[in-house]
Amino acid sequence: MKPVATRNAATAATLEGVESRLFTARDFQLESGVVLPELTLAYETYGALAPDGENAVLATHGFTGSHHFAGRYRPGGAPKGLGDGDVGAWDKLIGSGKAIDTGKLFVVASNMLGSSYGSTSPASLDPRTGKPYGPDFPHITVADIVKAQKLLLDGLRVRHLTAVVGPSYGGFQAFQWAVQYPEQMDGIVAAVTSPRAPGGPERTRALIEQLSADPNWNGGWYYDRGGIPAVMTRIRVATLKGYGIEAQLVERFPDPAAREAAIVAVAEPWARAFDGHSMVVLRRALEGFDTMPRFDRIRAKVLYVLSRTDTLFPPSLAPGVMQALKDAGADARYFEIDTELGHLASGLDADKWAAVLGAFVDELTTRT
């Protein structure tokens, strides 16, 4: 096992020449029984798949994030809404010599079904009508999202996963993988998240009410009206503040007005790229999401990571989750990131938990 001391996220090089690719399958059946005539998932890969197909890690992203986890895109390799110079959200953790070492592991970063960066979503054209699905996009669940990822991995000839890793909504998916395909991975890393989703249908209704306040709403059929950028920008600004972006920017922008302008500047490109109906579809997928009653199905080792200053998934969640995992017989451990960066800490303050992640992944790679 490599010594933990070598896990220095700041000294390892960033991956260059990353490309977002597309995987397509036909007739994908959802839990509801509805069949999508065509399923497309956007994804990225880092490292090389071993001949036995068993050195893979699946990286799953957050609610309004993307599958760009590491490196920089090659020129022209970025999907719509992301820039070629953008560095992946977990770039400090994924790469050669980093906690998830692409010199040994093959990382697949999958965009979610229903998301807005190249995968089948409400903004996609319905093959049956030639128009965007819009508000008619079918109801999906987290189990559907994970099933689609399994199909992608099968297509890439991944036979077994070393781990499923992800922050926030990505952590929901990691827990879902553990109970839906318990024999398919050696471990999961669920960061700044919970095994059950907060809230229910009322949150979806509140989100739709927010979106419908945009003058371009048109009953949800806004695609030929330039979208709904005004309300999406307001939502994104509020979301970023809830994630803790002000703590990230306070040194660079000590003046509150300048800091607010900087947050809006970050929010606006996202608001132009991310579809409001994707937010609705992914929020609705969480209604009733709760993996805790199925913890007895977990066979993977679990690393549960929270941020000391995260208000979305506060550390007060940890005792109940860890006790439930223990009661189910799961091999689980907990780590709390000592950070001021709130919900953003898993990527931005990666140095503070890279050693823990690296040691956990090394432990998984020694399996027989």
Annotated catalytic residues are 168, 310, 343
Alpha helix stretches (DSSP H) within the chain: 142-155, 169-180, 201-211, 229-243, 245-249, 256-273, 276-284, 318-327, 345-348, 354-365
Q: Is the dihedral of CA 125, 128, 134, 140 positive or negative?
A: negative
Chain center to CA of 76: 23
71: left (phi over 0), alpha (psi -120 to 50) or beta: left
Sign of CA pseudo-dihedral 127, 129, 131, 132: negative
Asked whether 108 and 43 are in contact (CB, 8 A), the reply is: yes
- Work out whether strand 185-191 and strand 301-307 pair parallel, antiparallel, or are unpaired: parallel
Burial of 243-265, coded b for 16+ CB within 10 Å and e otherwise, reads bbbbbbbeeebeeeeebeebbee
Q: Which residues of 41-68 are buried (b: 16+ CB within 10 A; e: fewer)?
A: bbbbbbbebeeebebbbbbbbbbbbbbb
- Which own/partner pairs from 324-330 qualify as long-range (CB within 8 Å, at least 24 positions apart)? 324/195, 324/292, 324/295, 325/295, 325/298, 327/295, 328/295, 328/296, 328/298, 329/296, 330/295, 330/298, 330/300, 330/301, 330/302
User: Helix, strand, or coil here: 244?
Assistant: coil
The set of residues, in sequence order, having a beta carbon less than 8 Å from that of 214 and lying 6+ positions away, is 222, 228, 230, 231, 232, 276
